Structure 1
């Protein structure tokens, strides 16, 4: 649990020229329920006809043949001076109707939005990117709205941005649809979420020009969804199924996605696993740093997940081991294992944490990924750990860490407890390696307890800068994860248990409970209030149970009951 570099980006909260608030992209936006009647009301959506139907401020826009997302050309718009290279199109819409909007972007900072909706104008954005990303959002028109201005723009003094395959899907407002509909691309990132004994939740990345999606189970089409998620039901307990998804529109059906294998939970064990719906995580010191020394048996009862800190790396890349520190006072390793088993018998999950401020494990190849998985599973079997916590603070490789965690899941089975404790900077965008890893393993991920400390001021999901140590800091940064693809049940708030627990960012436990209420109930918020509530929010984490004991257990006595009484 180390120090994160502060990131302060000012002036990105609102584009004064469009008067559109900036927000993170919601990758779970769904298409209109009346998909059979919906069209893409944007004309020349792929810029195949140059800039026809589009107007770009100050001659900032042009077409480019590379890079392109689809077809032969894309938009290239270059900000300069006091203009942000805004390109607009006014589209015909129906009143009191919902439209799903998306665009593929690459290059510099890129924004997508709609104004003149007659209700709440919307926008979404992404930092600069070397690959194509899809921005998605939606809006509802007012009772007398018949036209809406769709816009794309970059940011002042930033590099050119590219845009392609823009879509605003909804009822035809009388202007007709895109002149040249194409079969949509194949959906990607098919992921399994929550599972029960009879169902599996599935989601995928939305596809431009798709009006619906077909879900296939073991090669047979089982349902059609209008949005980028669906639930497969009527399944057998403790059974593996292979799923694929395709995208469809009036032009036809795409190829099926790569297959995803997911397994239902076994019967008789319940659907909640070893971690409760709302859980409190605490890190336990396997060292003496001046905090209260505890044995595992001494860990306060409020903690549902106890992360043993930390594993040690070996000379073999990716491999970890564990060395019990004599300073803790155990007479033998057997006593330590006995304490772990007693906590597990009491309904607690005890996991091994990897990393920390000074720890590092290198996982950057197939061999090191396998070494991590096999050595972690060996520790689970030897000590009785329920899973692993990823607290790497010195850079990760999402490709190989994902492989390592997948292999570990295959070895450990469906009851694996997998947590993460990234620094604030690591979760500012879905393009970071940590965030990509979390989304890659979303189907086996228990909770991400981001460290809301040692960071300085940071951007919230609304693009505004918030100061560390406030309710707004906790809620606005949590919103990035909640709207960036993680389930609410996979998000926890990590704060220090005492002023000595971190270099900066300590908040009174009452601030933690206020943030929990703001996110789950919409009450006790600061100046930032999320656009919706997240009653399934997993809970909270602290560094550490030892510092909590040093401070008279103030954190666990206040935050613990509050988490357990969440809706």
Structure 2
């Protein structure tokens, strides 16, 4: 969260910069939206017209600019090899192949990619050239689009490339499925085998989490409950939600690719726990979060009892790291807060909770250096946060680590904390905009990993310059479009609407940039929840369960006469 014992900080660099947007736009012209769905089922006469599509024969049939491409044995999506291409300087690591095609025919283009920003496309179609792309990804993800050839088109140029200044990308199992162009091609995939190793990795009162072993040649997996398909995923884990408490369910998994679906795996039984609730407790459907400053930086000094009643969640900023890896503590700044004592603080927390409010301790901030990077530090984190909850009466924890986090071990720590605190745990997060641009980012991964116990993610829509929206367009902060198009990434990326909030500064002094009037916040909430008061971007659907909004901070709000909470708070609580 902005301002940890200091008044200013530099604005975060914008990505992409304005000087690269023209190049960006040219690279993603006709098919900018990322497709996470598999390629369409090929007909009996169709084949993969690409040669050496899995890079099993090195770079045979491929040409990469400036020596940027090579083949590697790990990571691979299928087979024993994959392409690795590394952008450098003004070279975007483009690798191409000329593919024979049939005129007046439709083809499905797809590839599995991982690593840095990756683009996939074709030129020379004789009609409309197409491309698609994805931001950086730490796991394999499929890009897919389609094109139609012109009346005299007999070949197209297939390409992949990365982006300037970004990390190396990996590509594997490229395909140009459609009628035989006369050049032959790689054989079509075969139906994969049934998954093995299916286990129950976790349960709550309303969900069961599953994990299984990867299947060679599979591009996705389907999860069945009691013989009925309930979800489809591309990875080797899934969480099935909406279940009844204290109930046993049988689960199976199948593997899929363009050739079809495997037989079902062996059945495993998962039993939900007895107590319900999950993250959120007795929170209202629409809630307002405010950060309370445990320090004096020029904003109004407050006690917890001074915080406006419009705030449903009060995040106490911040806990402090200790010398024990992963562990945190809380030190009330009594001197900076006019002699506010620990006993008074505890009593005020208790009174807020008695009034139906939630009070959580926030971990991190601009200068926070808490590191949870292994099993020991994960345990230390969970134990120390739980101890703070018992000591001060906190309802839970807020994760506001702006200097990076490890998704694996932070997820482990939060699940351990949940096991101690129970279903009433309040778990909130406040990532920066860059942290939620892609589901491959560690913050987004963490949120999805703990989705069944997560209360709300209040992304910071400030100090970020321009960012990509879910439609692939670049939006500048300070507008309704910036708020709605970036929120859409989370809403369509796996979080429930009730787990998404809009984080904004309470005044022009609350952050270095990104302040918008309460009217803009209210319009964005209306656009997302009701489809009204939108800007140029309008979501494809509405999200009436949207959780609400957050601000930095209750102190800056008080400095401005509580204008933010009076306007936005009333609007949030008035949403249907």
The TM-score, its normalising length taken from structure 2, stands at 0.76
Matched, 1:9 2:46: no
2:160 paired residue among 153, 168, 173: 153
CA distance in structure 2 between the aligned counterparts of 1:564 and 1:40, rounded to whole angstroms:
55
Aligned-pair CA distance for 1:458: 3.2
Equivalent residue for 2:229? Answer: 224
CA distance in structure 1 between the aligned counterparts of 2:278 and 2:255, rounded to whole angstroms:
34
Deviations 1:399-427 (A, max 9, x none): 32222112111111222111111222333
Residue 311 of structure 1 aligns to a residue whose secondary structure is strand
Query: Does 532-541 or 414-423 show the bigger shift?
Result: 532-541
The 3 A distance-change label for structure 1 pair 214 and 532 is closer
Deviations 1:25-83 (A, max 9, x none): 465x4788xx899999645564668999x997999998946453212444567888699
Equivalent residue for 2:378? Answer: 369
The 3 A distance-change label for structure 1 pair 513 and 188 is farther
Equivalent residue for 1:20? Answer: 30
Deviations 1:187-226 (A, max 9, x none): 99999999775x6698999999658745366xxx643357
Equivalent residue for 2:521? Answer: 512
Unaligned 5+ segments in structure 2 are 3-8, 149-153
Please tell me whether the aligned partners of residues 279 and 427 of structure 2 are also in contact (alpha carbons under 8 angstroms). Answer: no
The 3 A distance-change label for structure 1 pair 38 and 495 is farther
Aligned-pair CA distance for 1:304: 1.5
Residue 227 of structure 1 aligns to a residue whose secondary structure is strand
Aligned ranges 1:136-151 → 2 under 5 Å: 136=143
The 3 A distance-change label for structure 1 pair 275 and 211 is same
Matched, 1:498 2:507: yes
Equivalent residue for 2:568? Answer: 559
After superposition, the CA RMSD in angstroms is 5.0
Aligned ranges 1:378-393 → 2 under 5 Å: 378-393=387-402
The 3 A distance-change label for structure 1 pair 160 and 411 is closer
Aligned-pair CA distance for 1:390: 0.8
Matched, 1:454 2:454: no
Aligned-pair CA distance for 1:243: 5.7
CA distance in structure 2 between the aligned counterparts of 1:39 and 1:225, rounded to whole angstroms:
32
Equivalent residue for 1:396? Answer: 405
Aligned ranges 1:278-289 → 2 under 5 Å: 278-289=286-297
Please tell me whether the aligned partners of residues 39 and 110 of structure 2 are also in contact (alpha carbons under 8 angstroms). Answer: no
1:300 paired residue among 295, 305, 308: 308
The 3 A distance-change label for structure 1 pair 298 and 22 is same
CA distance in structure 2 between the aligned counterparts of 1:30 and 1:8, rounded to whole angstroms:
29
2:187 paired residue among 166, 179, 182: 179
The 3 A distance-change label for structure 1 pair 299 and 263 is farther
Aligned-pair CA distance for 1:156: 6.4
Aligned ranges 1:482-497 → 2 under 5 Å: 482-497=491-506
CA distance in structure 2 between the aligned counterparts of 1:531 and 1:98, rounded to whole angstroms:
27
The 3 A distance-change label for structure 1 pair 39 and 395 is farther
Equivalent residue for 1:353? Answer: 362
Aligned-pair CA distance for 1:179: 3.0
Matched, 1:474 2:483: yes
Deviations 1:162-186 (A, max 9, x none): 42224699xx989999833245486
Counting matched residue pairs gives 549
Please tell me whether the aligned partners of residues 12 and 463 of structure 1 are also in contact (alpha carbons under 8 angstroms). Answer: no
Unaligned 5+ segments in structure 1 are 142-146
CA distance in structure 1 between the aligned counterparts of 2:198 and 2:529, rounded to whole angstroms:
28
Equivalent residue for 2:548? Answer: 539
The TM-score, its normalising length taken from structure 1, stands at 0.77
Please tell me whether the aligned partners of residues 21 and 462 of structure 1 are also in contact (alpha carbons under 8 angstroms). Answer: no
Please tell me whether the aligned partners of residues 457 and 501 of structure 2 are also in contact (alpha carbons under 8 angstroms). Answer: yes
Please tell me whether the aligned partners of residues 40 and 178 of structure 1 are also in contact (alpha carbons under 8 angstroms). Answer: no
Query: Does 155-164 or 201-210 show the bigger shift?
Result: 201-210
Please tell me whether the aligned partners of residues 192 and 217 of structure 2 are also in contact (alpha carbons under 8 angstroms). Answer: yes
CA distance in structure 2 between the aligned counterparts of 1:56 and 1:245, rounded to whole angstroms:
39
The 3 A distance-change label for structure 1 pair 149 and 412 is farther
Aligned-pair CA distance for 1:233: 8.0
The 3 A distance-change label for structure 1 pair 511 and 289 is same
Aligned-pair CA distance for 1:433: 2.8
Matched, 1:445 2:449: no
Please tell me whether the aligned partners of residues 518 and 568 of structure 2 are also in contact (alpha carbons under 8 angstroms). Answer: yes
Deviations 1:242-280 (A, max 9, x none): 86634246576389699897845736x699633333221
The 3 A distance-change label for structure 1 pair 134 and 295 is same
Residue 482 of structure 2 aligns to a residue whose secondary structure is helix
Please tell me whether the aligned partners of residues 57 and 87 of structure 1 are also in contact (alpha carbons under 8 angstroms). Answer: no
Aligned-pair CA distance for 1:157: 5.7
Deviations 1:97-153 (A, max 9, x none): 998x8532145531246899x9997733223x6x65213567899xxxxx9999653
Aligned-pair CA distance for 1:450: 1.4
